[in-house]
Structure 1
Amino acid sequence: MPVTTETRPTTGVSRTAVIIAQARATENAREDRLFADPYAQAFVDAVGWIQVAQAGRLNQGHFVLRTKFFDDYFLAAAASGCRQAVVVAAGLDTRAFRLEWPDGFRLFEIDLPGLIAFKEAVLGVQGAQPTCERTVVRADLRTAWPAELLASGFDPEQPTAWLIEGLLMYLEPADSDRLLTDLGALSAPGSRLAIEHINQEYVELPQLRAVHERLRKVGASWRSTVDDPFGWLGGHGWNATVTPQTELAARHGRPVPELTDPERVGSARMWLLEATRSAEAGSPAGAGRA
């Protein structure tokens, strides 16, 4: 399918996917890049560069560090023996193409049909070939997406590495809870989860006022926060740990992103979390079926 005005992601949360691709493209051009993403610039070229507010420019370092953080999360899961992953609301994620996966690894990408159409068109022009078994699932996460995932060959009896990146703040609290409930029901013992979320104090930062106005205009307002991610994830059967951006920045020799620096923003947080399935969470739906 060619890239057309109908398939270009210019509104809503899909628009933010292009902004993140811009950050990845900029990082890819650096000699000291933390990761390679040879397809990010193609997504940007197909849409045109989107001007972002000052806060968005200040957060580019966060987008880069979180990409590296979640890259390493997936590679660690694969190295531990996990052979199945799901990227929830995958957007313009290209990990299926740019990471080195072990033989037999399966990666599922879930997102809306329109954004998937754009992504597939751009990747097709680039001649991109996945480095694992890649399956695209066209589904709205506010509806019965588990059935679509299962119908695509997902195995709920196998440990899964899940990723929810740059999504939860755009969902209503009830939709976020429903997503975690559905996801947990599909998670076998040994499954992992990585997420990004924000607390209420982050939303209220004065530096983000222009960002909120721009997001509102394109229909992508932030609708939920979590002040206690450990309790929230624990209530859904996950044992979580958080990695501060200060730690990531030190690990990779980069400055701490200004809007995630406690010395500048106090207790405002953009959480980067990894979690494992609690032993008492029980077996996933469908486990033990013939």
Structure 2
Amino acid sequence: MVTTRGTEDIEGIGSGVGRTALMVAAARAIEATRPDSLVRDGFARHFVRAARASGEWPVHWHDVPGGAANPLWGRLGRYFGLRTRVLDDFLLGAVRAGAGQVVLLGAGLDSRAFRLAWPAGCPVFELDRPDVLAFKRQVLDELGATATAARTTVAVDLCEDWAGPLRDAGFDPDVPTAWLAEGLLLYLPAVAERRLVSTVDRLAAPGSCLAFEVKLGVEHPGGPIYRSAKDQIGVDLTALFDAEPRPDSAGALRARGWETSVRTPFDFAAEHDADLVPEHQDALASNRWTFAGKPVRR
């Protein structure tokens, strides 16, 4: 078990968006222990227990008050489990189809570089804030974790220039790439989202693909999930979401020649028998997952 010794010296992981990274890790830990689990992440619980901010949160399905009826750890947690599974499949499918490298934008406390069966030597670049990556490194080092990919971390602010640091870290813009922005764009200012999409387009070789998550709007803060997050773990999610009108990033990619498909989480819930259907004042109803590919011109 990882202790909390030293991890709280890293400013930021227990507050703001850093706290949401811990929330998602707790959800993945709980998902791994469900009898109908969609994804197994053996590292997630260690991240949760290593931070004082989340040390008392549940990390096992049996410890979730109310089980599936709990709006936070039951419903939103299941959403995160489904999202993880779908995007795991997306990345592995892209690599098997010819993508030669992977870039995780806003990698957070995800452990894909350690838990997925990557082809030997597959480069995986993880981009996130320095405090998140430092906390992650401490926990993984204490566990003695060994990456299953050729993992490189790049400490950046994704609202600023990150293309230069990524290239300096060994990213090759001539190689088809699988890009992922999971749980990221809804926290960025609109101008930063537009810049990020434009940068991905500029760096992506033909044959690259991209998946990202957006919200079409921000729901009423009194909805069950938002109220539960605030009551149970002290996270006001709606205060963290950027309130500006959101860009049409899927449309921007299409205008640049990408092929796109926009899906709802409920589409995938039906495919994976995940027991997620729309509800009243639903925090998930405006979520969309976009999958885009940059064609190879012949």
Shift of 1:254: 1.8
TM-score, normalized by length of structure 1?
Answer: 0.85
Question: Which runs of no fewer than 5 residues in structure 1 stay unpaired?
Answer: 281-290
Once the two structures are superposed, the pairs formed by residues 153-164 of structure 1 within 5 Å of their partners are: 153-164=170-181
Match of 2:27 in 1: 23
CA–CA distance in 2 between the matches of 1:102 and 1:36? Answer: 19
SS in 2 for 1:197: strand
CA–CA distance in 1 between the matches of 2:35 and 2:283? Answer: 33
Compared CA separation, residues 266 and 67, structure 1 to 2 (3 A): closer
- Over the residues paired in the alignment, what is the CA RMSD in angstroms? 2.9
SS in 2 for 1:96: helix
**2:134 corresponds to 1:130:** no
Match of 2:111 in 1: 94
| Comparing 186-195 and 271-280, the one that deviates more | 271-280
Match of 2:39 in 1: 35
**2:219 corresponds to 1:203:** yes
Paired residue type of 1:24 = R
Shift of 1:247: 2.5
Provide Cα deviations, 1:158-204, integer angstroms capped at 9, x if missing partner: 0000000001111110110011111211000000000011112x534
For 2:251, which of 228, 231, 242 is the aligned residue?
A: 231
Compared CA separation, residues 218 and 228, structure 1 to 2 (3 A): closer
**2:16 corresponds to 1:12:** yes
Match of 1:283 in 2: none
Compared CA separation, residues 14 and 218, structure 1 to 2 (3 A): farther
| Comparing 7-16 and 21-30, the one that deviates more | 7-16
TM-score, normalized by length of structure 2?
Answer: 0.82
Compared CA separation, residues 169 and 237, structure 1 to 2 (3 A): farther
SS in 2 for 1:203: coil
Paired residue type of 2:32 = N
Residues 7, 114 of structure 1: 8 Å contact kept? yes
**2:195 corresponds to 1:175:** no
Provide Cα deviations, 1:134-176, integer angstroms capped at 9, x if missing partner: 0000111122211000000000000000000001111110110
Of structures 1 and 2, the one with the larger relative CO (CA 8 A, separation 6+) is: 1
For 1:251, which of 271, 281, 288 is the aligned residue?
A: 271
SS in 1 for 2:119: coil
Residues 168, 224 of structure 1: 8 Å contact kept? no
Provide Cα deviations, 1:68-110, integer angstroms capped at 9, x if missing partner: 0100001100110212000001110100000001123110000
Residues 22, 48 of structure 2: 8 Å contact kept? yes
Compared CA separation, residues 250 and 222, structure 1 to 2 (3 A): same
SS in 1 for 2:79: helix
Compared CA separation, residues 50 and 199, structure 1 to 2 (3 A): farther
| Comparing 221-230 and 71-80, the one that deviates more | 221-230
**2:101 corresponds to 1:84:** yes
Match of 1:107 in 2: 124
Provide the identity percentage. Answer: 36
Compared CA separation, residues 160 and 5, structure 1 to 2 (3 A): same
CA–CA distance in 2 between the matches of 1:136 and 1:41? Answer: 21
